Structure 1
Amino acid sequence: MNPSGVLETEAAMQSEQVKKLQAQVAEGFAGSSKAGRVMIVGNGLKWKQMSLSPEDAELLDTRRFSVEELCRIYQVPPPIVQAYQFNTFTNSETAGRWFAQFTIAPWARKIEAAFARAVFGPGSAYEVEFDMSGFLRGDPLQRWQSHQIALANEVLTPNEVRQVEGWNPRTGGDVVKSAPKPEPSIA
């Protein structure tokens, strides 16, 4: 049974009254041939809708489609505009990086170029560059693993890693520290 609504009343009803009302509703409104009839209720009874009408369901579906279309037009991942219908945490994280890389970054490059032309003039040795690293950082575990690999392979110094994280340098942090070599095993 899937009722589209219920009849409510604040008055107490006897079981015989309930059965009589159920029989009247079934007789007058049950079945496809009686669909759409107007129900007149009295004696303090109120109709409370429990399910969406087909028109309301269609309206919601149209709104959802409109949000998706706008996201496609402006290249914005749906989670960015809080459209979480088919979303997981991993999708959100990836969507954030995608948004930064493919939506914000192209506009940032255009603004950088326009600002550099307007302030420094064409052919200047100076450049303007937005720091987009905050958008592209990823999760902490991935960052720390990548720092560990960069330090172990002597690609970055400890202070360069600290700079990437936005931290102040430390004394002695500009020295590349070689990773300890594994000891040969004696079998």
Structure 2
Amino acid sequence: MASVSQGLRRLMGRAHRPPAPPERKMSRTGPVIALHSQGRPVWTPRNYADLTREGFSQNAVGYRCVRMIAEAAASVSWLLYEGEREHASHPFLALLAEPNPAQGGAMLMETFYGHLQVSGNAYLEAVAIGGAVRELHVLRPDRMKVVPGGNGWPEAYEYGANGQTVRFRQDGAGGPVPPILHARLFNPGNDHYGLSPFEAAARSTDIHNAAGVWNKALLDNAARPSGALVYTGPDGDHNLSEEQFSRLKHELESAYQGAANAGRPLVLEGGLDWKSMGFSPKDMDFIEAKHVAAREIALAFGVPPMLLGIPGDNTFANYAEANRTFWRQTVLPLVARTAQALTNWLAPAYGGDLRLWYDADRVDALSGEREALWDRVERSSFLTVNEKRAAVGYEPVEGGDRLSPASSG
């Protein structure tokens, strides 16, 4: 009878079931995204080698934009907070200062930011030994592939080089944190990979590169002559004899060419006329098109053209203002995103309420803004000493909850 009753309960759906697994927070759209790619590597949607060659290696504007952003962002110092308390020293800061034996902190972050600008993606690997993160390494984006999981998020990354592949699982089973940090620029057309600024500026990069190739070919073909001597004989004949041509050529080479003869007046014999040859309106449009392409490349990266020496750009009143805009609109937002990503990735390995941020007070380009802020705060008669210190980012001091003598009068 027991077996019969168990069978009835099983048929009626009342058989004993194991407890349901705890609910997990996840997007309902994740399984839809992962439907056709779960567990399989997803290839990057373009050729990283072409972006590197055409946009970075062979284009001076793109090269300089990447270097400016990467070097500026990597020069920013880190700050570490636990709640409201700032740490002057901490293993987290020590790891960022000396991430591995081959690189210092600035060099590591410069490589990281450079990959992010060139490909739209950048990867950091955390090496854990004895349950603690000991080293950080930058991995090349062209060798990395995302492996989506059932929830749509990457469950692993595959890194391939020299015919071998290493899979990094992101479940954190092999260390205190997931082994890979994937930073990417916004890409509305891809679920797994970021969009490179070189892709947005691809046509402008092609135009700028083609202009360089055209100029090189022009120089290889002896360029454009500055003018021409036109001969018209007494009978309307336009041909010189062999002897006349040789003598004229020799006189021009010996008496009028070279730096020592610059500006020397040309003495013409009867029948000779000088015709100056300059740039045509079509040639001038070609040069302007090259400058427009250079400005569009700089625009894609967020670098003011004035900082790159591109002619014809008068958006900013002076170089200092352009440099300040570059830091405020391009460099610091990038560093802020990176600080948040590093906090979410590495802070759990150290426990506590840790938060990584950047030290804007040590950025020389923003010194004018700091001085103006300090001056306004100092002249504020309604703020206490500690309120003034908080306004400029400093901790309170004992006895600072009163108006300062300078502002109370």
Alignment map for 1:88-167 (pairs within 5 Å): 90-121=317-348, 125-133=353-361, 134=363, 137-139=366-368, 143-154=370-381, 155=383, 157=385
In 1, the alpha carbon distance for the partners of 2:372 and 2:318 equals 21
- The CA distance in 1 between the partners of 2:280 and 2:365, in whole Å, is 44
Paired with 1:82 and 1:156, the residues of 2 have a C-alpha distance of 46
1:39 paired residue number: none
1:24 equivalent among 261, 272, 290: 272
Name the structure 2 match of 1:60.
287
Identity rate, percent: 21
1:71 matches 2:298: yes
CA distance in 2, matches of 1:157, 1:96: 32
Closer, same or farther: CA 75–101 of 1 in aligned 2, 3 Å: same
Change (3 A) 1:110 1:58: same
Q: Paired residue for 1:5? A: 227
C-alpha distance 147-20 of structure 1, shift in aligned 2 (>3 A): same
Contact (CA 8 Å) 2:316, 2:322: kept in 1 or not?
no
Q: Distance in 2 between matches of 1:143 and 1:125?
A: 28
Alpha-carbon contact 2:228-2:277 (below 8 Å) kept:
yes
CA distance in 2, matches of 1:86, 1:11: 41
Per-residue CA deviation, residues 147-182 of structure 1 (Å, 9 max, x unaligned), is 333223254759x78xx6xxxxxxxx998532363x
CA 1:9–1:138 in 2, change beyond 3 Å: closer, same or farther? same
Question: Is the Cα contact below 8 Å between 1:96 and 1:135 reproduced in 2?
Answer: no
Secondary structure in structure 1 of the residue aligned to 2:291? helix
- 1:156 and 1:79 mapped to 2: Cα distance? 42
Letter in 2 for 1:148: D
Partners of 1:176 and 1:5 lie apart in 2 by 78
1:137 maps to amino acid: L
> Per-residue CA shift, 1:73-128, capped at 9, x if unaligned?
12211122222533498332222122112111221122111111121139951111
- Alignment length (residue pairs): 143
* Alpha-carbon RMSD: 4.4
C-alpha distance in 2 between matches for 1:85 and 1:55: 18
1:40-55 to 2 correspondences below 5 Å: 51-52=278-279
Give the Cα separation in 2 of the matches to 1:55 and 1:118: 55
* TM-score after normalising by structure 2: 0.28
- Are the equivalent residues in 1 in contact too, given 2:302–2:326 (CA < 8 A)? yes
Contact 2:306 2:313 in 1 (8 A): no
In structure 2, the residue corresponding to 1:18 is in which secondary structure?
Answer: coil
C-alpha distance in 2 between matches for 1:79 and 1:145: 24
Deviation for aligned residue 1:61: 1.8
Q: What is the CA distance between 1:66 and its match in structure 2? A: 1.3
2-side partners of 1:144 and 1:156: how far apart?
A: 19
Greater relative contact order structure (CA < 8 Å, 6+ sep): 2
Listed one character per residue, the Cα deviations across residues 34-72 of structure 1 (whole Å, up to 9, x for unaligned) are xxxxxxxxxxxxxxx874455653442222111111012
